[in-house]
Structure 1
Amino acid sequence: MNLFNELRGLVLDSLIRMQAGGRLPAGLDMANVTVEPPRDSAHGDVATNAAMVLAKPAGLKPRDIAEDLARLLADDPRIGSAEVAGPGFLNLRLAPELWHGILRAALRAGADFGRSDMGRGKRVNVEYVSANPTGPLHVGHTRGAVFGDALASLLDFAGYEVTREYYINDGGAQVDVLARSVYLRYLEAHGQAVAFADGTYPGDYLIEVGQALKDKVGTAYLGQPEDVWLEPIRDFATDAMMALIREDLAALGVEMDVFYSEKSLYGTGRIEAAIEDLRGKGLIYRGVLEPPKGKMPEDWEPREQTLFKSTAHGDDVDRPIMKSDGGWTYFAPDIAYHYDKISRGFDLLIDVFGADHGGYVKRMKAAVSALSDGRVPVDIKLCQLVKLYKNGEPFKMSKRAGTFVTLRDVVDQVGPDVTRFVMLTRKNDAPLDFDFDKVLEQSRENPVFYVQYANARVNSVLRKAAEAGIAVDDAALAGADLSILTHEAEIAVARKITEWPRQVEIASRTNEPHRVAFYLYDLASDLHALWNRGHDEPALRFLQEGNPATSQAKIALARAVTVVISAGLGILGVTPAEEMR
């Protein structure tokens, strides 16, 4: 139940009536008419910009339109009052019954309250993590994993059919480096002294892989040239790393629907098919690129290359797809991979990349636009860096990983719930500071604690009420006399609950799951504010001794808060706290 959509429908109906009565000209574009919460709740419950956006095309003063519209809206029983402000803004106060109706709807719908059908009939592919299979996931991957997983859950909540996908980058030179690194650990497992050259992976996590390889093949690869062992060890090592990555993701509560291998694109004709599709559209040609902007590299020289005309689809420059030796560039299999996604019938593609992929956005959007003839949009989300702190100092690298802090380092320190919530306390394209001390702190400054504490507080009230013989099941609470709830602090909580379905749709439309975390913090703040006012104003306490009917109404309000918190935390992949310890 999105009350704001309902009220926008009321406003649009009233505007159509004004057109029918000759008070507005016909043919006005009303797409930009909005109904939303005002910035200052003192101005009203909802506000509409209808008069402001229609005045110029209608050739009328915005205030005249607003006053006409206010008179029509005031006749609707859902509207308590309609007030024109400034040059033509229209602020609406709603009848108290609407807030009570929202609370009942939340209690009756339970976990489904706020679900939307905006994505019905649409299939979306969310690709995230997609780390090279050369070692354990690091903290940067953690942020991308949490963001992508929460976004997938959010879109599912909004009615989309969602596929969670991991693209395994197992077709490039990095897996050869992995194989050589494992071979060194294999030699080490046989008692040989080894030295890790620059460019190899020295992390301790490969010790077990080298031992497992020894257990499997014995001495078969000792003293053998690289062309004998490189390919089988590459496959063995990649499988071992993907098993490790799956374990890391499971520790974070992330489950993928599809693991797609880049290697499967080679030798199967898939890359060739994608490039031929572009060639048939006149987008593949032989040409010479302009020199790079800025300082000219000393070794740069113009040379003819096979290029994708990505500038025809919004890119800054055309992109090479074939090396001088006839092999594919790294961009070619990525084109083929997205061609495969399009062929699978997705209506929307979302790629979650690390901060270092900023230069990749335009070329990938151009490729998808060209391959789908502009039919399938792709939204590329970049996750900025995470800086870790502990005891006021930067958190040091993991010895096991060799060069970085791993996902497991973080999860083992604070647990998956805290990790996930904190990773969503900033927009994905903003840097994030992760302080191990602060994320475990029990204060308002810690959003994880603050939201969980609100949920736990309400659950403590429910337990006490049940012990007192008050019926606190959702059906009983939905049937309570909610007209008792009239105090401004109670209405503030109900108003915030009303915003939940709208927040779901906005966050889904913008692909921004951090909005859910922000909203939950605000909702928890309103609940805590009401709780604290009860210390000084006994009439605001949720349990009213000797008055079960009043208690039940107030508990219904509190329980509706936890309905929303549970749904929101479910989207974020966080388990709601029943009690705080």
Structure 2
Amino acid sequence: MNLFADIRALVIDSLNAMTAEGALPEGLAFDAVAVEPPRDAAHGDMATNAAMVLAKPAGVRPRDIAEVLAARLAADPRIARAEVAGPGFLNLDLAPQVWAGLIETVLAEDGDYGRSDMGAGQKVNVEFVSTNPTGPVHVGHTRGAVFGDALASLLEFSGHEVTREYYINDGGAQVDVLARSTYERYREALGHVPAIAEGLYPGDYLVPVGEELAREVGDRWLDQPEAVWLAEIRDFATEKMMDMIRDDLATLGVEMDVYFSEKSLYGTGRIEAAIDTLRDKGLIYEGTLEPPKGKLPDDWEPRQQTLFRSTAHGDDVDRPIMKSDGSWTYFAPDVAYHYDKISRGFDQLIDVFGADHSGYVKRMKAAVSALSDGKVPLDVKLTQLVKLYKNGEPFKMSKRAGTFVTLRDVVDAVGRDVTRFHMLTRKNDAPLDFDFDKVLEQSRDNPVFYVQYANARVHSVLRKTAEAGIAAGAPVLTDAAEFAVARKLAEWPRLVEIAARTHEPHRVAFYLYELASDFHALWNRGNDQPELRFIQEGDADATSAKIALPRAVSVVISAGLGILGVTPAEEMR
């Protein structure tokens, strides 16, 4: 059930009737007609812009349309009041029985309330994390992991078929550095002093990798030239790092469906096939790029390169695809990787990148547009930096990683649920402050606590009523605070579709905070007005009617937290 969609359908039916009667001209498009929560709750339960958006194409004053529409809507038993405001806005109040029916629907549909078929089974690939396999997942990638996983869950909840994917960057020079770093830890395991030179990875996380390698091969590679051991240690260390990364992600509750290796693209003809596809479209050519704008680098010299005509698909400049020495640029395997995704039949691609990849967005969008003939959209979501604080001061805590704070550090300090929820309390492209004290604070200012506390309060009521043998019955709403909670519950299906359409799971966290706030306000009113308390002492029937609303609140909070990957709290400790 989507109450906003139901009332919008009523508005559209009324507009069609007005067209049939000649009050509106034929051929008007109603796509822009919306039914939304009013900006000010005092204006009503819902508002529609129908008269405002149809006035100009209809050649009729908006207020004239609104007055006729209001009269038609008021005749429907679901509408208690339809009032024209200002130049032609239309505010609506729904009948009390509508809100009671909504609560019953939430309880009947339970965890399926708010689910949508909007996605119509479209196949969506969400690629996220994709950190280099050279160490543990750090706190910056943690934000991308939470965002990507929550977005995937949101899309599933709205009717999409989702694949969670990790791109293993194991084809570049960084894995050679990993192999050399591991070799030094291997030497250390055999009793030698490691030479952790500048440019190698210094973190202690490679110590057990070196020890395991020593157990497997003994001293076979000790004092041997790099050419003897580099390839084998590179594969060994990459595998161990990916095991560590999988464990880190599991700590956060993230499970990938696919791990795709960049290395699998090399020497298999897959990069060549992707580039040949672009060449067949006339998008690959030999040319010389203009120098970078601004100050000319000292080492700049124009040189002939193989270029992708990405400007034909919205990019600012054409991009090198092959270097002058005949080797591929870093961009080439990324093109081939996205061509592979397209070939697997996905209808949408979503890439979750760190903010440092902002310069990569246009070229990747251009490549996907060219390879799919514009049929497969690519949305690139950038996640901004996370700044860590403790007691209001910048905080660093990791020795194991060498130079950065790991995912496991954060989860060990505050727990998985707190980490995940707080990572979604800001829009993905806004910087995020993570204060270890504040995220554990038990106050209204901490949204994690505030939402969980609302759910725990509901369950405290349900435990007491269950002990008394009282179940939720037909709801009865009488107070403005009760209707405020019901109105917020009605927004949930609409919110899910908006958040899924815009790829913004943080909207779910914001909504849950608002729902919790309305619920706590109702709870507090019950402290002063006993008739609003959920448990009516000595009156089982009244209690049964009262507890339907908080039970519905818990249904929606649990569904929302499920999308965020957070376990709903049934009691606070």
Deviations 1:259-311 (A, max 9, x none): 00000000111100000000000000011111111111111121111000000
What is the aligned length? 573
Report if aligned partners of 2:104, 2:474 keep a CA contact under 8 Å in 1.
Answer: no
Q: How does 1:27-38 map to 2 (within 5 A)?
A: 27-38=27-38
Question: How far did 1:467 drift?
Answer: 2.0
Report if aligned partners of 1:70, 1:82 keep a CA contact under 8 Å in 2.
Answer: yes
Residue type of the alignment partner of 1:516: V
Residue in structure 2 matched with residue 388 of structure 1 by the alignment: 388
For the residue of structure 1 that corresponds to 2:320, the secondary structure is strand
For the residue of structure 2 that corresponds to 1:92, the secondary structure is strand
Report if aligned partners of 2:474, 2:548 keep a CA contact under 8 Å in 1.
Answer: no
Residue in structure 2 matched with residue 481 of structure 1 by the alignment: 474
Q: How does 1:343-362 map to 2 (within 5 A)?
A: 343-362=343-362
Residue in structure 1 matched with residue 191 of structure 2 by the alignment: 191
Report if aligned partners of 1:274, 1:339 keep a CA contact under 8 Å in 2.
Answer: yes
For the residue of structure 1 that corresponds to 2:379, the secondary structure is strand
Report if aligned partners of 1:134, 1:238 keep a CA contact under 8 Å in 2.
Answer: yes
Is 2:535 aligned against 1:547? Answer: no
Residue in structure 2 matched with residue 86 of structure 1 by the alignment: 86
d(CA) in 1 for partners of 2:215 and 2:379?
45
For the residue of structure 2 that corresponds to 1:499, the secondary structure is helix
Report if aligned partners of 1:481, 1:549 keep a CA contact under 8 Å in 2.
Answer: no
d(CA) in 1 for partners of 2:78 and 2:372?
46
d(CA) in 2 for partners of 1:45 and 1:485?
15
For the residue of structure 1 that corresponds to 2:389, the secondary structure is strand
d(CA) in 2 for partners of 1:320 and 1:34?
46
Report if aligned partners of 1:221, 1:229 keep a CA contact under 8 Å in 2.
Answer: yes
Residue in structure 2 matched with residue 295 of structure 1 by the alignment: 295
Residue in structure 2 matched with residue 337 of structure 1 by the alignment: 337
For the residue of structure 2 that corresponds to 1:543, the secondary structure is coil
Residue type of the alignment partner of 1:557: L
d(CA) in 2 for partners of 1:52 and 1:426?
33
For the residue of structure 2 that corresponds to 1:224, the secondary structure is coil
Report if aligned partners of 2:165, 2:258 keep a CA contact under 8 Å in 1.
Answer: yes
Question: Structure 1 segments of 4 or more deviating over 4 A?
Answer: none
Residue in structure 2 matched with residue 418 of structure 1 by the alignment: 418
For the residue of structure 2 that corresponds to 1:576, the secondary structure is coil
Question: How far did 1:350 drift?
Answer: 0.5
Question: How far did 1:497 drift?
Answer: 0.5
Is 2:506 aligned against 1:506? Answer: no
Is 2:522 aligned against 1:526? Answer: no
Deviations 1:88-133 (A, max 9, x none): 0000111111111111111011111110001122100000000000
Q: How does 1:216-295 map to 2 (within 5 A)?
A: 216-295=216-295
d(CA) in 1 for partners of 2:229 and 2:474?
76
Question: How far did 1:47 drift?
Answer: 0.4
Residue in structure 1 matched with residue 77 of structure 2 by the alignment: 77
Residue in structure 2 matched with residue 572 of structure 1 by the alignment: 564
Residue in structure 2 matched with residue 68 of structure 1 by the alignment: 68
d(CA) in 2 for partners of 1:179 and 1:324?
28
Residue in structure 2 matched with residue 144 of structure 1 by the alignment: 144
What TM-score, normalized to structure 2? 0.99
Residue type of the alignment partner of 2:514: D
Question: How far did 1:70 drift?
Answer: 0.6
Residue type of the alignment partner of 1:481: A
d(CA) in 2 for partners of 1:11 and 1:416?
44
For the residue of structure 1 that corresponds to 2:82, the secondary structure is strand
Report if aligned partners of 1:73, 1:79 keep a CA contact under 8 Å in 2.
Answer: yes
d(CA) in 2 for partners of 1:222 and 1:74?
86
Residue in structure 1 matched with residue 56 of structure 2 by the alignment: 56
The range that moved more, 3-12 or 529-538, is 3-12
Q: How does 1:420-439 map to 2 (within 5 A)?
A: 420-439=420-439
For the residue of structure 1 that corresponds to 2:315, the secondary structure is coil
Report if aligned partners of 1:158, 1:504 keep a CA contact under 8 Å in 2.
Answer: yes
Deviations 1:48-69 (A, max 9, x none): 0011111111111111111111
d(CA) in 1 for partners of 2:469 and 2:213?
64
Question: How far did 1:345 drift?
Answer: 0.4
Alignment RMSD (CA, Å)? 0.8
Residue in structure 1 matched with residue 155 of structure 2 by the alignment: 155
Question: How far did 1:394 drift?
Answer: 1.2
d(CA) in 2 for partners of 1:183 and 1:457?
55
Question: How far did 1:4 drift?
Answer: 0.9
Residue type of the alignment partner of 1:220: R
Residue in structure 1 matched with residue 555 of structure 2 by the alignment: 563
d(CA) in 1 for partners of 2:207 and 2:193?
13
Residue in structure 1 matched with residue 446 of structure 2 by the alignment: 446
- Structure 1: gaps of 5 or more residues: none
- Structure 2: gaps of 5 or more residues: none
What TM-score, normalized to structure 1? 0.98
Residue in structure 2 matched with residue 319 of structure 1 by the alignment: 319
